[in-house]
C-alpha cells in the first residue's frame, strides 16, 4: 500500500504526537508499505521539501508558525492551514503518484479541508487518529467558554470527523462524543516501538544522584494540573531519599519553576525536552512514573508518557480525572496505582508505600513491560490502520 500520513508536528520536534507518527511510519515501512509523512514546517527555507528515507519519506510544506505564539495568531494560522498545505502539496511530485489511503492525526482540528481534497484527488479513504477532543476539553476546564469561538472550533472539529472513513479513538469513554450507531468509530490504543527504538545512554542531573527518582516526562499544560504534582513534592520534602524529575515543556512550565522556587521545593528538578532516544535512557534510571490529569476533564485519553514508562518497566502512579480509562488499564494489569485527582493524601500515601516496598515495585515493573508488549505495540496499531483501508466505500464528503 501507498499511504500519506498527515500530522502537524514531526521530528525533530519531540512531542508525543511527533514521536508516535514517526514510529507508525517506520513500522508501516518495515511491513512493506510506502509512506509519505506530510507536515507543516514554518522553519523551512523552501516552499516544499521532500526528504527521502529508508523506511518512509517526509514532505515538509512551509507554513506560518503554529506553536509558541499568542492564541489569536495561532487560531488564524491554523484556520489557513489546510489551504496552505493543499497549495504546497499540489506542487509536489508526491501528488502525481497513486495513493491507497490517508492517515491524519488530531490535534490539529484544522486538517479536514486538506484531507477532503487529498481523498478527492487520489480517490482514496481516510483514517483519523483522534487524540484530542478539542474544543470540548478546553470548555470542561473553563479555559474556553461555550461562546461563539467555541462553536467555530466545534464546527471545524465536526467537519474533520465527517471527512474520515474510520475514526480511531484511544479510550472507550470517548465514544460518547459520537453517535452510538456510528460504525466508523473504533478503539485504536496509543503505541510505541518495541525492540527497534534506539536507547541513548543518559545520566540524570547530578542533584538526583543516589535518590529514588520519580519522573514526569511530557507536556506540562493546564489539562495536566501540574500543581497536583508540586503538592506531592511538598509532601515528600521531609524524605531525603527521593526527588521528582520533570522532563519536557509546556505552557505551565515557567509558572511551575517559579512556584517550586517560591516554595523551596529542593526535591524538584526540571530538565529540558529531550530526544526520544535520550528520554528512554533517562527513564530507565528512574524509579516510578508520574501521570496527572485535571479532575474537571470529561474526555479521556491514554497519555503518551504512559507508554514511555511502561516501555522502561516503570510502575505508574496516576492521579486522574473521574471515569478515566487509565484506571482499568493500569490497575487490571497490576502495573501501578491510580487515584482520584484532588485526593492529595491518598496520592502521597500511595507514593510513599511504593517507595518503601521494593518487592512490590519490582512486581509492578515486570507487569508494566508485559502490558506494553501486549497492548501498546506499534505493530498492532499499524496492522489495524492497514485493515481499515482493505475495503468499504469511501466517505464522500464534499470538498
In this structure, what are the phi and psi dihedrals at residue 103, rounded to the nearest 5 degrees? -110, 125
DSSP 243-285: EEEEES--TTHHHHHHHHHHTT-TTEEEE----HHHHHHHHTT
- Specify the CATH superfamily of domain 2-191+377-388: Glycogen Phosphorylase B; (3.40.50.2000)
Domain boundaries, the chain: 2-191+377-388, 206-375
Residue 197 has pLDDT above 70, yes or no: no
DSSP single-letter state for residue 192: B
Q: Which residue has the higher pLDDT, 82 or 14?
A: 82
Task: For domain 206-375, give the fold.
Answer: Rossmann fold (3.40.50)
Mind listing the pLDDT tens digit for each residue in 148-164?
Answer: 989 999 999 999 999 99
Which pLDDT value is given to residue 78? 86
Helices (H) and strands (E) in the chain, counts: 14, 14
Residue 348 has pLDDT above 50, yes or no: yes
Residue 332 has pLDDT above 50, yes or no: yes
167 by DSSP, 3-state: which?
strand
Which pLDDT value is given to residue 391? 65
On the question of a common fold for 2-191+377-388 and 206-375, the answer reads yes
Most confident region among 12-26, 52-66, 226-240 by mean pLDDT? 226-240
Which pLDDT value is given to residue 275? 83
Residues 7 and 356: their CA atoms lie apart, in Å, by 43
8 Å CB contact between 124 and 98:
no
Angle between helix 304-311 and 16-30 (nearest 10): 60
Strand partners, 38: 6, 59
Q: What is the mean pLDDT of residues 320-325?
A: 87
Amino acid at each position: 500500500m501507498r499511504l500519506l500520513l498527515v500530522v502537524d508536528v514531526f521530528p525533530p520536534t519531540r512531542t508525543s504526537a511527533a514521536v508516535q507518527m514517526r514510529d507508525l511510519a517506520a513500522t508501516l515501512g518495515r511491513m512493506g508499505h510506502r509512506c509519505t509523512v506530510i507536515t507543516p514546517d514554518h522553519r523551512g527555507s523552501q516552499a516544499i521539501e521532500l526528504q527521502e528515507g529508508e523506511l518512509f519519506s517526509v514532505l515538509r510544506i512551509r507554513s506560518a508558525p503554529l506553536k509558541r505564539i499568542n492564541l489569536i495568531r495561532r487560531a488564524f494560522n491554523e484556520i489557513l492551514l489546510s489551504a496552505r498545505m493543499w497549495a504546497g502539496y499540489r506542487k509536489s511530485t508526491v501528488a502525481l503518484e497513486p495513493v491507497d489511503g490517508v492517515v491524519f492525526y488530531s490535534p490539529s482540528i484544522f486538517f479536514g479541508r486538506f484531507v477532503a481534497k487529498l481523498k478527492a484527488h487520489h480517490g482514496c479513504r481516510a483514517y483519523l487518529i483522534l487524540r484530542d477532543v478539542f474544543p470540548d476539553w478546553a470548555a470542561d476546564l473553563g479555559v474556553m467558554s461555550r461562546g461563539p469561538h467555541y462553536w467555530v472550533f466545534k464546527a471545524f472539529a465536526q467537519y474533520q470527523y465527517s471527512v474520515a472513513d474510520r475514526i480511531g479513538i484511544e479510550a472507550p469513554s470517548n465514544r460518547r462524543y459520537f453517535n452510538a450507531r456510528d460504525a466508523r468509530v473504533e478503539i485504536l490504543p496509543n503505541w510505541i516501538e518495541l525492540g527497534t527504538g534506539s536507547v541513548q545512554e543518559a545520566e540524570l542531573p547530578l542533584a538526583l544522584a543516589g535518590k529514588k527518582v520519580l519522573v514526569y516526562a511530557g507536556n506540562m499544560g493546564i489539562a495536566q494540573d501540574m500543581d497536583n504534582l508540586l503538592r506531592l513534592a511538598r509532601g515528600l520534602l521531609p524524605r531525603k531519599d527521593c526527588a521528582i524529575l520533570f522532563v519536557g515543556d509546556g505552557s505551565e512550565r515557567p509558572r511551575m519553576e517559579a512556584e517550586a522556587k517560591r516554595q523551596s521545593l529542593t526535591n524538584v528538578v526540571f530538565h529540558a525536552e529531550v530526544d526520544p532516544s535520550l528520554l528512554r535512557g533517562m527513564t530507565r534510571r528512574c524509579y516510578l512514573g508520574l501521570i496527572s490529569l485535571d479532575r474537571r476533564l470529561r474526555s479521556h485519553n491514554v497519555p503518551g508518557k504512559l507508554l514511555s514508562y511502561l516501555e522502561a518497566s516503570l510502575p505508574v502512579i496516576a492521579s486522574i480525572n473521574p471515569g478515566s480509562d487509565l484506571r482499568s488499564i493500569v490497575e487490571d494489569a497490576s502495573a501501578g496505582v491510580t487515584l482520584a485527582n484532588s485526593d492529595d493524601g491518598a496520592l502521597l500515601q500511595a507514593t510513599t508505600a511504593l517507595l518503601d516496598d521494593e518487592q512490590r515495585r519490582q512486581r509492578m515493573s515486570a507487569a508494566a513491560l508485559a502490558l506494553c508488549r501486549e497492548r501498546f505495540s506499534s505493530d498492532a496499531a499499524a496492522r489495524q490502520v492497514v485493515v481499515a483501508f482493505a475495503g468499504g466505500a469511501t466517505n464522500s464528503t464534499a470538498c
